[in-house]
Structure 1
């Protein structure tokens, strides 16, 4: 009989959990059926699932359909109900609606209405937005409809609605479930003719509470037959949607914010003819071969003949020569700070002006390698803040970056000649965006990972001599490797004074006095930058005791992870090692009476490790060692609570570790 008990208990538990979730969802009694405002909504003074919210959506609804029998424009009816809890939430009353304008015309807004609801005593009052308070701001590619709700006050509920008309069917209306404030309920319905084939993708980690699809008969007249066509109807909905809050170690929020996206693949006409809108990668490869901004520029290797100095050109084709070519391009042709791969890329202009966009400089580097007989490929990608390019469907506007994949001495190197601070084989941090598309015109293009294999590092070797008055003199040698090296080089160049170098390179825990600073290898990307300090610290002396924290420099002053929950990955960009090795020397007439407790802490699956060791060498010398390893460049959101605890421990170790020294009794007696 017992074998039937467990499934029964599980089923019962799931039922209780579902009832509890539904009970919690309804516990504030909001109207999530429509935009009608209730007294309960006006009386509400907090949002229980997120008590930090200053405003939130109570209800949001959208319905999109393609016009039947007319110009076949896409119409989207939108309506929303927003609760303002306090004055800090007033920004949500400023509404901006972008309208795209292009070669096929401009998007339009119809029937825009907005009303503010509030209480006077126990009576519901309302104020309707005047038409003369609605403004249009014109831009190059978009116009912006702007307005602010009237009669704002804490506790108000804002309701607005409009119909958006667009002739651009390729990008069907994107529905944003997640925004920067939470939502009680958001629902999106579509009615799409069955002969319109869209790729539909749900982005983000939040799960749909409703995901329904059905067929509606004879809903669409295409103008070519008396018989109506069928439609696919869909309904997507989410409840209790948390705000999307951007935190450190994130590429682009658009990689992870929860939404529904559409892209038109093809339309099958009612006579059977198929009109394709989405290309395949083989089609794109073919176009790239002849494209004036990529294909033709990549074939202009003749332009670089005779440009390479003889002392480089006459070398054997090995890794040393490859590095020499890379350094030559980096030194003589500068990046103008602009991105893009399809516009303003012209090698003739680059060779004349010695400056160009990121693609021009790196195509030139590619052509030097090809002209010298190396195997090299251009790789198109996107910067971290631009979002991930789509893999399944080629969307060329997703790409804004180009670098070179070089084969030399049996190994592949990813190269970008636009950054003077990175080492050979290291892309700038801005380019670490997971993957890119390698263009191989002789075969076919393919995806390549953009994930650094090597660890980056920061290492401190400190000698701390404590004086009888409680002060101490620190001599520190700091070395930087990988991405920390390129960051250090850049900060040293940008800092005009020693004091600025110290502050820009380090998190300094306490008050200090800089005595001396020197550095080396700040321009040589083949070697690790070294920075040497001599610093006077002020420690705390109370009566016969000295209280000393051995860490002058800390890796993090505070925990960067502050959210209760994070529903997107933690992306450092590269693997990391931090180490601090400190030798503490105490005064002869003091004894060490207390040292920090040793700690070892790790993440599941050995994804990260922290080791803190304190050890007496003799009566007046103490070794303090801290080593922190992040073994992954990116962690799934499930690691967030562990990383948060990990960082709490690390910050506490560096900020709260105390060594206690006590003056010896015989010395006190003499005094």
Structure 2
């Protein structure tokens, strides 16, 4: 019966889509009356229609010009979908190539007393701001948006650039109908690459059309016409969800002249991509020796011989001199000289500066090109596959990685955004190679919990923690700038009826040392008295309460980001007048080839219960095909942590 209902729902949905008028302004009452999406009822919004056209026209003064036309209609079901009423377009503003947005029209539709009310987008809802030296942001927000509103907008972007943005097929909300057409002149040869990691793949049709204006040439056409595209939703520990988005990249591989002969060939190997990037004045040109930092380095490094020690000192110097402006980029935005003078720069300004300084001192330093986690993993050789750069220092067979943009990052402890598979290390314009960006050293969190069960059956005691490497970095990034009061509030959150006091936070800003935390606590709801018995979980408020992996099926890998060990040592003073009736059993669990291990060892030692719990994650990436087995494995961990000690009141 359920299958029959699903088929009927899909049939009715498809029938509605096929009969819908998608001409701009032809929003129907049925669209406005819809309370939830017929297929995905949990969605806060839906793209009712998206039409995207990419084409080129010939200008006698400019040559071929690119046009990208967007028409989109979106249904907002509830407040969580209000963000879809704001749209941003990042427009390139190069010295010779500029992008411009024109023809913007927008309308909000609401049903008021059975009639369709329209409110147009006006100038006060349109905004233009500088994003970087070569980028402007054009944004707009549709007016009068409420639960149930349908919004619609259209605009055109004109550009003299031949590069085409990725064509997106899948979004975080469902798409009822998608109509995409990409028409490129035969003089531009593009490599087409779909995202093979995506679970949804549209049907792509390719045709050729003859054009006779202003001269005869052929146009290569890509068409995608799809309906009922499922939403792409993040799942627990899914890492960068964009890695699994259905999309198609188009990279220009060659330009033909009027005789259809290759005039210019672009990079088609990673070696060529690396060479082209290195030869840029805003990349390799920033790595020469510069006089502007000479005196500062001589003073800083006087008497220092070890290359890694030099690297640490230079990293701290750059952090103290240049503030990161929050912008990514593999190319220097201001140039390292100006960034040093002004005290601000993008990622490349800062990290290429570190490389330049170290090379000037004879240190074997090289830049590593990276695609950040939110940029995805490059699918094929492409300049656009990289959007970030860090510094690598080699001493013998050892490597030190540096990112001087973050206050609390340390040697070989980089911001999470760059931990994305592998980067491209470039020694010079002719020598480059892949370099793993994933940590191979385990980060460790050790927790010690002392517990005393009081006469009123509250529990009190002390917690002590020590955090190393990436776990310490993540903690510093969150808490080092917090007030002690806010820190305590955060620690108390989701721990039941607890009161924390005497917080001590050591090495919060000493990035080369482990973090040490301790605090006193009093817990009012950790022990249950039923009759003459006491029940409690020995991990109390430190136990994992529920399994975050709830889905029956999973489309994406589980990504814990880093290998780590989470270790607990619990000492419980047994209350006077009670005996142990039962304890959880000690147990060891192993997932697959020991990629993840869990151990739970509990024993009585005189007046004390002692518990040692370890979760050891050797391989932080669990493939989707192993999801069900891992979900079951993690459920056992949660169940084990929730098992209770039972104490019985001693008979007088």
Is the pair's TM-score, using the shorter chain for normalization, greater than 0.5? yes
The alpha-carbon deviation at position 256 of structure 1 amounts to: 3.3
Deviations 1:155-210 (A, max 9, x none): x7x58574635234523364432223212332323343344312223236133242
Q: Taking structure 1 as reference, are residues 659 and 238 closer, same or farther at Cα in structure 2, changes over 3 Å only?
A: farther
Match in the other structure for 1:429: 416
Q: Taking structure 1 as reference, are residues 264 and 477 closer, same or farther at Cα in structure 2, changes over 3 Å only?
A: same
Return the match for 2:174 from 177, 182, 186: 182
The alpha-carbon deviation at position 355 of structure 1 amounts to: 6.8
Secondary structure of 1:344's match?
Answer: coil
Return the match for 2:440 from 445, 449, 453: 453
Q: Taking structure 1 as reference, are residues 367 and 230 closer, same or farther at Cα in structure 2, changes over 3 Å only?
A: closer
C-alpha separation in 1, matches of 2:153 and 2:398: 58
Return the match for 1:50 from 17, 40, 56: 40
The alpha-carbon deviation at position 557 of structure 1 amounts to: 5.7
Return the match for 2:597 from 609, 618, 622: 609
Deviations 1:106-163 (A, max 9, x none): 5455595868596988xxx65566687996433342434654489x774x7x585746
Deviations 1:327-352 (A, max 9, x none): 354157424122444112324763x6
Q: Does 1:577 align with 2:565?
A: yes
Return the match for 2:244 from 229, 248, 256: 256
Q: Does 1:166 align with 2:158?
A: yes
The alpha-carbon deviation at position 482 of structure 1 amounts to: 1.8
Secondary structure of 1:547's match?
Answer: strand
Do the aligned residues in 1 keep the contact of 2:425 with 2:434 (CA within 8 Å)?
Answer: yes
Do the aligned residues in 1 keep the contact of 2:444 with 2:565 (CA within 8 Å)?
Answer: yes
Q: Does 1:221 align with 2:209?
A: no
Return the match for 2:11 from 8, 26, 50: 26
Return the match for 1:494 from 469, 476, 481: 481
The alpha-carbon deviation at position 39 of structure 1 amounts to: 8.2
Do the aligned residues in 1 keep the contact of 2:314 with 2:358 (CA within 8 Å)?
Answer: no
The alpha-carbon deviation at position 275 of structure 1 amounts to: 4.3
The alpha-carbon deviation at position 440 of structure 1 amounts to: 1.5
With normalisation by structure 2, the TM-score equals: 0.80
C-alpha separation in 2, matches of 1:153 and 1:425: 48
Return the match for 2:224 from 233, 236, 243: 236
C-alpha separation in 1, matches of 2:468 and 2:631: 25
Deviations 1:545-568 (A, max 9, x none): 333332245265655556666544
Q: Taking structure 1 as reference, are residues 130 and 543 closer, same or farther at Cα in structure 2, changes over 3 Å only?
A: closer
C-alpha separation in 1, matches of 2:550 and 2:544: 14
Q: Does 1:405 align with 2:392?
A: yes
Match in the other structure for 2:24: none
Match in the other structure for 1:511: 497
Secondary structure of 2:17's match?
Answer: coil
Return the match for 1:631 from 590, 596, 618: 618
The alpha-carbon deviation at position 246 of structure 1 amounts to: 4.1
Greater Cα offset, 377-386 or 585-594: 377-386
With normalisation by structure 1, the TM-score equals: 0.78
Do the aligned residues in 1 keep the contact of 2:187 with 2:260 (CA within 8 Å)?
Answer: no
Q: Taking structure 1 as reference, are residues 77 and 426 closer, same or farther at Cα in structure 2, changes over 3 Å only?
A: closer
Secondary structure of 2:392's match?
Answer: strand
Count matched residues.
629
The alpha-carbon deviation at position 447 of structure 1 amounts to: 2.8
C-alpha separation in 2, matches of 1:110 and 1:418: 39
Match in the other structure for 2:204: 211
Do the aligned residues in 1 keep the contact of 2:240 with 2:374 (CA within 8 Å)?
Answer: yes
The alpha-carbon deviation at position 590 of structure 1 amounts to: 0.5
The alpha-carbon deviation at position 452 of structure 1 amounts to: 0.4
Match in the other structure for 1:531: 517
Q: Does 1:394 align with 2:394?
A: no
Do the aligned residues in 1 keep the contact of 2:352 with 2:367 (CA within 8 Å)?
Answer: yes
Equivalence map 1:83-94=2 (5 Å) = 83=75, 86-88=77-79, 91=82, 94=85
The alpha-carbon deviation at position 40 of structure 1 amounts to: 7.2
Secondary structure of 1:53's match?
Answer: coil
Q: Taking structure 1 as reference, are residues 207 and 194 closer, same or farther at Cα in structure 2, changes over 3 Å only?
A: farther
The alpha-carbon deviation at position 653 of structure 1 amounts to: 4.6
Match in the other structure for 1:342: 332
Do the aligned residues in 1 keep the contact of 2:75 with 2:151 (CA within 8 Å)?
Answer: no
C-alpha separation in 2, matches of 1:159 and 1:179: 17
Q: Taking structure 1 as reference, are residues 304 and 537 closer, same or farther at Cα in structure 2, changes over 3 Å only?
A: same
Deviations 1:2-50 (A, max 9, x none): xxxxxxxxxxxxxxxx999977632545333364278876775443432
Q: Does 1:440 align with 2:432?
A: no
Match in the other structure for 2:188: 196
Task: Name stretches of at least 5 consecutive residues in structure 1 with no aligned partner.
Answer: 1-17, 667-671
C-alpha separation in 1, matches of 2:68 and 2:580: 73
Do the aligned residues in 2 keep the contact of 1:251 with 1:433 (CA within 8 Å)?
Answer: no
The alpha-carbon deviation at position 406 of structure 1 amounts to: 1.3
Q: Taking structure 1 as reference, are residues 608 and 111 closer, same or farther at Cα in structure 2, changes over 3 Å only?
A: same
Q: Taking structure 1 as reference, are residues 183 and 603 closer, same or farther at Cα in structure 2, changes over 3 Å only?
A: farther
Match in the other structure for 1:5: none
The CA RMSD over aligned residues, in Å, is 4.3
Q: Does 1:551 align with 2:539?
A: yes
Match in the other structure for 1:669: none
The alpha-carbon deviation at position 51 of structure 1 amounts to: 1.9
Equivalence map 1:66-77=2 (5 Å) = 66-67=56-57, 72-75=64-67
Return the match for 2:362 from 365, 373, 378: 373
The alpha-carbon deviation at position 448 of structure 1 amounts to: 1.7
C-alpha separation in 2, matches of 1:147 and 1:443: 51
Q: Taking structure 1 as reference, are residues 413 and 148 closer, same or farther at Cα in structure 2, changes over 3 Å only?
A: same
Secondary structure of 2:15's match?
Answer: coil
Do the aligned residues in 2 keep the contact of 1:333 with 1:355 (CA within 8 Å)?
Answer: no
Do the aligned residues in 1 keep the contact of 2:239 with 2:559 (CA within 8 Å)?
Answer: yes
Do the aligned residues in 2 keep the contact of 1:326 with 1:365 (CA within 8 Å)?
Answer: no
Do the aligned residues in 1 keep the contact of 2:333 with 2:345 (CA within 8 Å)?
Answer: no
Q: Taking structure 1 as reference, are residues 128 and 511 closer, same or farther at Cα in structure 2, changes over 3 Å only?
A: closer
C-alpha separation in 2, matches of 1:254 and 1:423: 27
Do the aligned residues in 2 keep the contact of 1:369 with 1:375 (CA within 8 Å)?
Answer: yes
